[in-house]
Chains A and B, each alone.
Chain A
Amino acid sequence: MNDVPMNDAPVNDAPVNDPRFPGLRRRGFLAVAGGAAGLGALALTGCAGSSTAGTSGKADGKPKRGGRLRAAFAGGGASETLDPHLSNLFADVARAKALFDKLADYGPDLSAQPRLASKWEPNAGLDRWKVTLREATFHNGKPVTAQDVLYSYRRITDPKKAYRAKASLEPIDLRASRAVDQRTVEFVLKRPTAEFPNLLAAFGAYIVPEGAQDFDEKPVGSGPFRFVSFAPGKSAVCKRNEDYWDGAPYLDELEFVVANEESARINALLGGQVEYAHELNPTTARAHEDQGQVQIVRLRNSAMQSFAMKTDRKPFDDKRVREAFFLIADRKELVDGALSGAGEIGNDLFGKGYEYYADSLPQREQDIDRAKALLKQAGAADLKVTLDTSPVAAGFTEAAAIFRDQAAKAGVTVRIKTGSKDSYWKDILDSGTLCSYRSGAMPIEAHISQRLLTGSTTNATKWQHKDFDDLYQQAQSTKDKQQRAAVYERMQRRLYAEGGFLVWGFADWILATARNVRGVEAKAPANSLDWARFDKVWLA
């Protein structure tokens, strides 16, 4: 019903045969990122800044210990598992986050923040990284060691399995990597990777104790909560881990319950059956925003909304036509109409507000006259194009209809073709010329490596340029962050001028909490560390 796939896949340029297809759910796909866009080395900004929580409950006050919080998510039914490496849905990740840790995770700007790793240090060639673990223990009292890290990563990359983080970890040569001592791992990479820390934050790259295989009975992690009980498709209960390295959670207990219907989640919240409802519609949010019954939390910049033009074929092989299309879009109207106003306008670049985002570029505005002139120059004055869309994501068909009307003003006839929900992403990958497209949050580098390189596996705009690929390699081999940022800016300037993604907006991710819930972070795009994080939440 209320299918809101966050779209888009993780992984970098490597072959992506990842997730657990067994278990691949079609509802609420997470968007992840493989690759990287991190602070090169060091940088212990860490959790301190990000964990101070709460913009949602303004009058936060002093955190209070105790209580039980029930959080409603759309789930995966009877097939759900607690194996963190099989995480695929939002609900899976929320549960995995409560019970397990990664070495790093994404901050609000999608840069890698240290978690179980306390620091990382590359060699001069950026192909050997020494990662130091902080002192942390698993729920069974054993320390988290370098061996556990290597075991976890080897489990994920098992060639016979298809765990989701597998492709993200592809740059690591795990055979050559080794434990230097109990709390130091030396990772050997197959090639220079300046954004290596992003790999450590990869979707599903959780650290489990050495030898762990069965997670349904009594999963042991190092996370802020300990396992209590689990009924697939119904509920998962966990309790405070007093020994958590990042400070014990305030809540005594945390229960994840599954409610697939959006109306059921908000009703359960209004009726006091849960204290946290994940993934709500903009209309629901508007209806309850200032009613005082619940608090609405909007996670900004959570999902890129765009139209993808295939740059290798007519009519979009002419960059003047692409620019004309950039100028046709009235972004405000698209955001208001297709996203019910729950979002921000885009500037034809991915990752607004993220690390390395080129925000110095001027905001593009609708300019029908110039669009017409460009089309005329390109010999495409009476252009007719087919726009592929599908109800596969919220707002797709609405945005398509709005854009059709905008294009008509510039003399372009857009014919909308609504395709099957099931095969949409495959259908638009290679065929057609123009399509609706969206993506969840991931580092900008990951967006580039997955979609904009000659060898990218999901290159929906057919953006294949040798010099662009070279720039990417250059960035990955540049140790200095400032210089690297300059390379990313060059790449983005090019995409802004003549790329294939007409990025018209960024949708909010909306959730709601009961009035007594405090410490829910609002500056946390879906997929980042502070999203669906409950160890800093308390009940007033």
Chain B
Amino acid sequence: MSGLRSWVARRLLFGVVQTVAVVLLVFALTEALPGDAAVALAGDQPDPERIAAIREAMELDRPAHERLADWAAGLPHGDFGTSLASGRPVSTYITDGFGPTLLLAALTVALLVPVGVGLGVLAARHEGKLVDRLVSSVTLGVYAVPEFAFGVLLITVFALRLGWLPPTAVGYGTDLLAHPAALVLPVLVLLSRPVCSLARLVRAGMIDALASPYAAQARRYGVPGARVRYGHALPNAIAPAAQQLARTIDWLLCGVIVVEALYVIPGLGTVLMNAVAERDVPVVQGLAVVFGVTTVVLNLGADLVARRFAPRAEVAA
């Protein structure tokens, strides 16, 4: 067990390093933007006095390393700084946007796992037969459709033509649970591509596992077919799928900009987009930290799951 513990410790340490790197990179990239933030903010009113005033208000006249140090010093206390645009704390931006994002992500994952794994297993069981060919070609086809196009298509058909569902969640604010109908289309769009990739991964993993010597050996011992499939083959098929699932959850939690914009859902993606448009550096940095930590934690989780299901697969830190 100490092996696992030191492995976790190493992963955590590495995660911290990754997060710090993300923060530095975000800071450096914002600094490197053309014409500096004050010019971008001055927009179509670029007279020099105004740019100077903006620069002063944003404290851009202070050296970059000082600003970075000040901000980084607050992080351990949960102080993400204050927004340049509104003067409100960055943490309120993050907590506000997190609710809708978490809701969408939770719903999507709750449907994604059974549907994706189910389809994968189904196809694997009927390898080469009609069901398999159907599942494989449909998943490939849907996977090829970009979310934006798929989203518009769903709105046109189900909201505008048939009138079954509301086209957007406009005006519902963060209280999306009170309007479940507004969540159907966005969740469908979010599901579309991950379901396909997950199903294809599980299918491939299952087929490999079922063809492996240990599955054959188990059958020779007279272990029932269902137990071979779900007790022995599936866990091995899930190991690679877990990595994919972690990436999907990460994608969902870091704000799905296209879907949020299309359906007017005020999640983290919207917060990020607005902050970038406004050059609200503290908010962008705050989000970068949150996203960085999320990514690190999820990957750690996925590795743990993979180790649990298929202990012999050594996962590189």
Contacts and interface: CB of A to CB of B under 8 A. Distances in A.
A5 B49 contact: no
A234 B260 CA distance: 13
24 contacts: A9-B44, A17-B52, A21-B41, A21-B42, A21-B53, A21-B54, A22-B86, A23-B278, A25-B277, A26-B277, A26-B278, A77-B278, A78-B83, A78-B88, A78-B96, A79-B274, A234-B173, A255-B171, A259-B170, A264-B168, A267-B167, A268-B168, A271-B163, A271-B167
Contacts of B261: 1, 260-261, 264
B168 A29 contact: no
B277 A22 contact: no
A389 interface: no
B51 interface: yes
Interface stretch (B16-24, B131-139, B152-160): B152-160
Contacts of A274: 170-171
A17 B171 CA distance: 35
Contacts of B86: 22-23, 78-81, 232
A334 to B, nearest CB: 20
B173 A231 contact: yes
Contacts of B92: 78
Interface string B20-57: 00000000000001110011111111111111111001
A23 B85 contact: yes
A457 B41 CA distance: 17
A7 interface: yes
A405 interface: no
Contacts of A312: none
Given A22-B86, A235-B173, A271-B159, A78 B34 contact: no
Range class of the B interface residue count: 35 or more
A234 B173 CA distance: 6
B168 A273 contact: yes
A267 B57 contact: no
A454 to B, nearest CB: 14
Of the candidates A255, A273, A274, the one having the most CB atoms from chain B within 10 angstroms of its own CB is: A273
A425 B46 contact: yes
A35 B39 CA distance: 24
A19 B46 CA distance: 12
B44 A70 contact: no
Nearest to A232: B86
B30 to A, nearest CB: 12
Contacts of A9: 44-45, 47
B43 A29 contact: yes
A5 B43 contact: yes
B266 interface: yes
Of the candidates B35, B85, B159, the one having the most CB atoms from chain A within 10 angstroms of its own CB is: B85
Interface string A64-84: 000000101000111111000
Interface in B263-297: 263-264, 266, 270-271, 273-275, 277-280
Of the candidates A7, A23, A270, A422, the one having the most CB atoms from chain B within 10 angstroms of its own CB is: A422
Contacts of A25: 85, 277-278
Given A25-B85, A162-B54, 10 more contacts: A18-B50, A77-B275, A79-B85, A162-B57, A234-B173, A259-B264, A260-B270, A260-B274, A268-B170, A423-B35
Given A162-B53, A271-B166, A423 B87 contact: no
Given A16-B47, A233-B266, A422 B171 contact: no
Of the candidates A72, A77, A259, the one having the most CB atoms from chain B within 10 angstroms of its own CB is: A77
A22 B47 contact: no
Contacts of A8: 44-45
A265 B263 CA distance: 10
B160 A267 contact: yes
A420 B35 CA distance: 9
A257 interface: yes
A257 B170 contact: yes
Of the candidates A27, A78, A273, the one having the most CB atoms from chain B within 10 angstroms of its own CB is: A78
A268 B88 contact: no
Contact of A24 (B54, B93, B170): B54
A423 B39 contact: yes
A427 interface: yes
A422 B280 contact: no
A72 B171 CA distance: 9
Contact of B45 (A72, A79, A255, A425): A425
Contact of A273 (B33, B38, B167): B167
Counting from the closest, the 8 A-B pairs by CB-CB distance are: A423-B35, A77-B274, A9-B45, A457-B47, A79-B85, A426-B46, A271-B167, A21-B54
Nearest to A32: B45
Contacts of B52: 17
A385 interface: no
A184 interface: no
A78 B271 contact: yes
Nearest to B41: A24
A43 B298 CA distance: 68
B300 interface: no
B262 A264 contact: yes
B84 to A, nearest CB: 6
Contact of A79 (B46, B57, B83): B83
Contacts of A179: none
Nearest to A78: B93
A265 B170 CA distance: 9
B58 interface: yes
B57 A273 contact: no
A119 B87 CA distance: 39
Interface string A17-57: 11101111111010000000000000000000000000000
Interface in A225-282: 231-235, 255, 257-261, 263-265, 267-268, 270-271, 273-274
Given A21-B53, A162-B53, A422-B40, A76 B274 contact: yes
B174 interface: yes
Contacts of B279: 26
A25 B279 CA distance: 9
A401 interface: no
Contacts of B194: none
B62 to A, nearest CB: 16
Contacts of A5: 43-44
B255 interface: no
Interface string B167-193: 110110110000000000000000000
A246 to B, nearest CB: 27
B42 A425 contact: yes
A264 B263 contact: yes
Contacts of A422: 33-35, 39-40
A15 interface: yes
